[in-house]
Structure 1
Amino acid sequence: MQVRTAVLTRRAVLTAVLVGALCAGGVVPASAAETTAAPASWRESLATGEAAGVTTRDGAAGLDPSSAYLAPQDSASAQAEGVTDSPALVPTGLLTLGLRTLERPTSRVDSVLDADVPEGTTASVDVRGKRANGSWTEWIPSTTTGTNAGTAALPEATDVMQGRLVLTGSAADPAARPVVRDVTLTAGPAAATTESAVTEALALRYSVFATREGLVGGTTANGHRIVNRDHFVALPSRRALSPRGTSDYSVKVCAPNGRCAFAPVWDIGPWNTRDDYWNPPAQRQEWKNLPQGTPQAQAAFRTGYNGGKDQFGRKLVNPAGIDLGDGVFWDALGLKDNSQVTVDYLWTGSLRLSKVVAVGDSQESADGLVTVRAAPDAAASIVGIAAEHASVPVECLAGSGDAWVRIGAGQFVVAAALPGAGHVTSCGSGAGSGAPTD
């Protein structure tokens, strides 16, 4: 660890899932929205947000270095402080704000902060929106538009959004801490050319190098305290960081031995902090001249990209694009050393996802983990593990009495482990071979 850091069903099944999600969620495509509606503005409550490295007092939010995770200083802040070598680690805190349901869809959210931001520190807002299939877009960092002001353009129109306050400290002056007294967000009307992404799509899948995170007893970027043999992963961008205890952004990681793990993204790393390499170059936050799916660390380590260094000027000693919690590394995947793995970034697909809930204490579900089997049968071979706080694809019901849910080709979990899955169609007689019913 360096820095703190699907299988597609048939067209009819996916179309039914997407249409159902639209009807249930009441999401209106931007093309049907009124683009002349007046913007909606509101003040966020800072006292009730989910804090990680942030404390609130008298309604104001401040950085708490004792509980914040450490990340290399933002390059702009480092330059302002005259840091030319590898920037020092600085405390970084997150305050996830409440959900906001809008009267009309939006595709742009402006933010204005009433804040004291000492030199070398930062205070900004990330935003995200609910997608048509019920999942979230990634967090979009605001682009600065003025003093303590910014704007974020969402990738698609949404009528449910959420903000996240991001505070960072100073490397030159550890006592300098930003304090935010008020956050005002304004949701502009959806652009006429912005449409909700109601299209069939596989989750993005790439082969990347994985390392074991370790750090038992430490704290992840979302405030989770790492326990022995923990089940979570870290990706090198906070765009896909789940709030503590949630499954908002989850991955499927498969090892060369064929075993797979489903786990939530609860940390940032390794190496970089703004490398959402799974996104297209135009959308990628940094390293836009790299091919989609190529982590910056991989390019630097293997081909000398950026002089063989990460975004903070450190020499790469491995090409890692994902960090695995010890339980994912050892127990779910059976790895003994760092390895190349295949990763599905599940939130990027159109298939409906459902949160895993461990039920009881049995051979299928125990200690917050659910067994993944090769067929809808308790006697079938074990092919992986799904962590309780992960989201998994919901394809169809299988087995005797529809007691199993297929979550991938040759991957099944007991239906009781997905109580929030809602209506799920039957796989039919071809369940064992992976063929859904038309």
Structure 2
Amino acid sequence: MKHVHRRVRPILRLALTATLTAALLPATGPVAAAAATPTTAVPTGSRAGAPATGDRWSLDLSVVDADDVNVRPTGTGLRLRDARWGAARSRGPRSALAEGMLITAPRTLSRPATRVRAEIDARVVPGATVETQVRAWRASGWSEWRPATAVFDQPVTRVQARVVLTARDARSVATVRGVRLTADSLAVTTAATPGLTYQVFATRIGLVGEVTANGRTIQPRDHFAALPSRRGLSPLNSGDYTVRVCTTSGSRCTYAPVWDVGPWNTRDDYWNPSPVRENWKDLPQGRPEAQAAYQSGYNGGRDQFGRTVLNPAGIDLADGTFWDALLLTTNAWVDVAYLWTGSGPRGVVGDGPLNIRTGASTTYPSRGLAARFANVPIQCYVTGQTVSGPFRTTNRWNRLATGQYVSHAYISAVYGGTVSAC
């Protein structure tokens, strides 16, 4: 960020155009911190003089509830509740910034749209950032969060927005006075959406009693994961972004929601292709920046905050995921599938952690656990042992992958398509 050395606090008023790709068109990085002097930007996705069309609405910044993190409404606008919060939780490879996030309710559009644009009215001082991000509901679930600067790969009728604030210290806190969104249509771009899987180094989170980036207080033997980008961060008590993590031998697998940001970096969506990846675009897809820094001295061996990288971690695992689901005893290489990049039916684990069996009965061995709220892929179903669970009594067992079955009695909902018999 460019720093302007003067006493008057600059005011930043932004008009942003966003194109959110459910899989994968170019998106720019944070825009609210792009300048420290007063400026007005014309939406880049509009023709000069062309009036905006489509749905228009303003975000309600006055309501903070359970899925919002470290923000508070004030008489002048939305602000961080505690600018020291980042430093307090930054032991080890965690975020070095104070962070806050307001998630607004999903909005159903009056007509299908392929683009969302955001106009932000904010006071932003050096060392602070403000960003509006959006995501869209598809048949296979929510797309990744994107800065309000992208195009949907197909028309959508349901979108959700969030406002993310960061501060370097207590003197650099931004104030968001208003956010206005416009949803309209451009020519549709078709993009493939394969499920992506990469081998990365996993570390154990620990930090029991501390707070995750989505506002969860970490419990002993907790079951969730952390990735070094907010683009795949699930709201509290949801599995909108779920990873499947398997040992390299394939003997144990777990499905866990992404509830925290880290390790090391916070803007490294390394699973995405270069045109979409927020930072470190010159690295191969699937290679975390921390791994490149540790193994080959990339970026001088440092993370985005300038800290010396001490391990090649690309994913963090909560203690229950690490010890109980995967039976790991030390940090290790694992195979990670980023399930929201795939397609097809998904089941929501309504109660867990749920045993993943090798066959359609509780007499079969467990080869892992699916965390509560995880959104798991369902290939097909078979009949087997009748199980009474919190949602139904049934003999249906869902196959998640070859040799992986869970009882349908514990699945609270299925979306993204019809599940057929195996």
TM range (shorter): 0.7 to 0.9
For residue 297 of structure 1, report the CA deviation from its aligned partner: 1.1
For residue 141 of structure 1, report the CA deviation from its aligned partner: 1.7
* Residues 207-262 of structure 1: per-residue CA shift (max 9 Å, x gap): 00000011000000011110101100000000000011111100000013511110
Bigger share in helix: 1
For residue 63 of structure 1, report the CA deviation from its aligned partner: 0.6
Between the aligned partners of 2:238 and 2:343, the Cα distance in structure 1 is: 19
Does residue 370 of structure 1 match 2:362? no
1:350 corresponds to: 343
Q: Which amino acid aligns with 2:114?
A: S
Does residue 240 of structure 1 match 2:236? no
Does residue 105 of structure 1 match 2:122? no
- Structure 1 residues 255, 321: closer, same or farther in 2, change over 3 A? same
Mapping of residues 58-77 of structure 1, within 5 Å: 60-65=77-82, 68-70=85-87
Q: Secondary structure at the match of 1:52?
A: coil
Does residue 179 of structure 1 match 2:175? yes
Does residue 229 of structure 1 match 2:246? no
Q: Secondary structure at the match of 1:51?
A: coil
Mapping of residues 332-347 of structure 1, within 5 Å: 332-347=325-340
2:299 corresponds to: 306
Does residue 139 of structure 1 match 2:155? no
For residue 266 of structure 1, report the CA deviation from its aligned partner: 0.4
For residue 424 of structure 1, report the CA deviation from its aligned partner: 5.0
Between the aligned partners of 2:350 and 2:84, the Cα distance in structure 1 is: 28
2:383 corresponds to: 399
Q: Secondary structure at the match of 2:414?
A: coil
- Structure 1 residues 155, 225: closer, same or farther in 2, change over 3 A? farther
Contact 1:221 1:268 in 2 (8 A): yes
Contact 1:377 1:399 in 2 (8 A): no
For residue 397 of structure 1, report the CA deviation from its aligned partner: 1.6
Q: Which amino acid aligns with 1:157?
A: P
Between the aligned partners of 1:88 and 1:220, the Cα distance in structure 2 is: 10
Q: Secondary structure at the match of 1:420?
A: strand
Q: Which runs of 5+ in 1 are unaligned?
A: 1-35, 74-85, 143-150, 359-367, 428-435
Which residue, 198, 212, 236 being the options, matches 2:204? 212
* Residues 369-416 of structure 1: per-residue CA shift (max 9 Å, x gap): 111001111110100000112110012221336421111111001111
For residue 355 of structure 1, report the CA deviation from its aligned partner: 1.1
Mapping of residues 106-121 of structure 1, within 5 Å: 106-121=113-128
Which residue, 350, 373, 387 being the options, matches 1:389? 373
- Structure 1 residues 340, 317: closer, same or farther in 2, change over 3 A? same
Between the aligned partners of 1:221 and 1:243, the Cα distance in structure 2 is: 9
Contact 2:345 2:418 in 1 (8 A): no
Q: Which amino acid aligns with 2:376?
A: V
Between the aligned partners of 2:89 and 2:206, the Cα distance in structure 1 is: 19
Q: Secondary structure at the match of 1:130?
A: strand
* Residues 295-320 of structure 1: per-residue CA shift (max 9 Å, x gap): 11111111222222222222211110
Does residue 194 of structure 1 match 2:215? no
Mapping of residues 400-419 of structure 1, within 5 Å: 400=384, 402-419=395-412
Q: Secondary structure at the match of 1:342?
A: strand
Between the aligned partners of 2:354 and 2:82, the Cα distance in structure 1 is: 36
Contact 2:140 2:344 in 1 (8 A): no
The normalised TM-score by structure 2 is 0.79
Q: Secondary structure at the match of 1:112?
A: strand
Which residue, 155, 158, 178 being the options, matches 2:156? 158
Q: Secondary structure at the match of 1:98?
A: coil
The normalised TM-score by structure 1 is 0.76
Mapping of residues 239-278 of structure 1, within 5 Å: 239-257=231-249, 258-278=251-271
Between the aligned partners of 2:133 and 2:408, the Cα distance in structure 1 is: 35
- Structure 1 residues 180, 342: closer, same or farther in 2, change over 3 A? same
Contact 1:87 1:312 in 2 (8 A): no
Contact 2:220 2:319 in 1 (8 A): yes
For residue 344 of structure 1, report the CA deviation from its aligned partner: 0.6
* Residues 9-50 of structure 1: per-residue CA shift (max 9 Å, x gap): xxxxxxxxxxxxxxxxxxxxxxxxxxx992321111123353
For residue 134 of structure 1, report the CA deviation from its aligned partner: 3.7
Contact 1:53 1:67 in 2 (8 A): no
Contact 2:95 2:266 in 1 (8 A): no
Percent identity between the aligned chains?
45
Q: Which amino acid aligns with 1:105?
A: P
Between the aligned partners of 1:327 and 1:67, the Cα distance in structure 2 is: 28
1:328 corresponds to: 321
Contact 2:225 2:317 in 1 (8 A): yes
- Structure 1 residues 309, 301: closer, same or farther in 2, change over 3 A? same
Q: Which amino acid aligns with 1:89?
A: A
Which residue, 118, 122, 125 being the options, matches 2:129? 122
For residue 425 of structure 1, report the CA deviation from its aligned partner: 4.1
2:68 corresponds to: 51
Aligned length: 357
- Structure 1 residues 242, 59: closer, same or farther in 2, change over 3 A? farther
Does residue 90 of structure 1 match 2:72? no
